[in-house]
């Protein structure tokens, strides 16, 4: 992997290498805090951290209660700081203390790993005007908006925003404008889908109220 305008530093050979090393160490029953995740990623915390916080919502497995809120909030803050051009990333202490079991996170990650490996082979530097300085801030802001949707307790609403975030983040890390374009399309679909779910739920509740009362 190349030096990226997303993190401003030299990234490791592959994102998957960093994450495999992270989840192969320690007791599966240990609690892993947001601070632990960011600390393990060092200067790569922004780009890879956004991926890491999105992954558990990107696989169709039974969810862990509260996982979207726990991981969505730091994802939003990281993306907003990137959108503002910050490189010295900050999160509040209460957010850094949020935690999940290492084994739970590893279960989600290894379910997602084949797709991540495929994307790493598929993505490459191209159409860099979509990842250049200025464009990267717009994409980071879009990630923050999608992260806000991801954090909402909308049933069946997490999958599309999570994949849009992953595609946008990988596009920036790999300097791949095609990935950014695809991620943007998925992001628009994610917004439309969640609006449909919310409005459909409102209509259903109104119908039930009229029927029962």
Q: Alpha-carbon distance 128 to 175, whole Å? A: 6
Nearest to 176 by CA among 108, 121, 117: 121
Token pair, residue 200, equals 């459909």
Q: What's the whole-number mean pLDDT along residues 132-148?
A: 90
Q: Is the pLDDT of residue 10 over 80?
A: no
| Whether pTM exceeds 0.85 | no
8 A C-beta contact, residue 150 and residue 72: yes
Ordered DSSP codes for 57-93: GSS-SPPPTTHHHHHHHHHHHHHHHHHTT--S----H
Top-confidence residue, 135 or 67: 135
Average confidence score pLDDT of the chain: 79
Q: Show me where the domains of the chain are located.
A: 15-212
Band (pLDDT 50/70/90 cuts) for residue 41 is: low
User: What is the radius of gyration, based on Cα positions, of the chain?
Assistant: 17
């Amino acid at each position: 992997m190349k030096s990226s305008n997303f993190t401003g530093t030299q990234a490791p050979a592959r994102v998957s290498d960093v994450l495999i090393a992270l989840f192969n160490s320690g007791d599966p029953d240990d609690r892993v805090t947001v601070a632990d995740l960011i600390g393990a990623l060092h200067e790569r915390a922004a780009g890879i951290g956004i991926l890491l916080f999105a992954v558990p919502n990107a696989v169709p497995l039974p969810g862990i209660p509260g996982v979207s809120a726990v991981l969505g909030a730091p994802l939003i803050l990281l993306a907003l700081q990137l959108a503002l051009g910050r490189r010295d990333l900050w999160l509040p202490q209460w957010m850094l203390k949020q935690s999940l079991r290492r084994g739970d996170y590893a279960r989600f990650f290894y379910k997602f790993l084949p797709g991540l490996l495929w994307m790493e082979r598929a993505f490459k530097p191209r159409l860099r005007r979509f990842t250049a300085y200025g464009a990267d801030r717009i994409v980071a802001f879009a990630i923050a908006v999608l992260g806000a949707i991801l954090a909402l307790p909308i049933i069946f609403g997490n999958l599309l925003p999570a994949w849009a975030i992953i595609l946008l983040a990988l596009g920036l890390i790999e300097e791949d404008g095609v990935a950014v374009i695809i991620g943007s399309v998925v992001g628009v679909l994610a917004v439309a889908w969640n609006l449909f779910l919310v409005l459909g739920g409102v209509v259903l509740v109104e119908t039930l109220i009229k029927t029962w009362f």
